Amino acid sequence: MLLLQLLELLLMAGCSVGPLPARPAGAGPGRTVRLVVDVLFWAVLVQAIMSWFNPDYRQPLVRLLQQLTEPVLSPARRLLPPISGLDLSPLLVIIALQLSKILLVAR
């Protein structure tokens, strides 16, 4: 994610005309937190949708998503165990991520 942020700043610098400002507008810890929350949100959402189709865990993308989402989903599973075989932990994580985005990052 930090590499994506750096790439964005480099692209902004390459496209700008004239001297670079001391700090590009919108760059900083708030934007980084927003980027992390957005990446986790989409990863959890894609992981939840993929779980409906019995994904092949040998695939690199599936493994990457599982490694990315498991640290946030496992505590949520302890708080909210499956109800009749239905895992609602992704819903709990998505709500928590959006709430943290609202509370931590002022728009």
What tens digit of pLDDT does each residue of 44-53 get?
999 999 988 8
Per residue in 38-89, pLDDT tens? Answer: 889 999 999 999 988 888 888 888 898 899 999 999 999 999 888 888 889 9
Residues 2-27 have pLDDT tens digits of 666 666 766 666 555 555 555 555 55
6 is a domain residue: no
- 16 or 94: whose pLDDT is higher? 94
Nearest to 12 by CA among 2, 4, 29, 24: 24
Asked if pLDDT for residue 1 goes beyond 70, the answer is no
Q: Is residue 48 part of a domain?
A: yes
- Specify whether the CB–CB gap between 58 and 79 falls below 8 A: no
Could you give the number of structural domains in the chain?
1
Of residues 31 and 93, the one with the higher pLDDT is 93
Q: Does the residue 51 lie in any domain?
A: yes
Residue 96: pLDDT above 90? yes
Determine the structural domain holding residue 55 and report its residue range: 26-104
Nearest Cα residue to 91 out of 71, 77, 102: 77
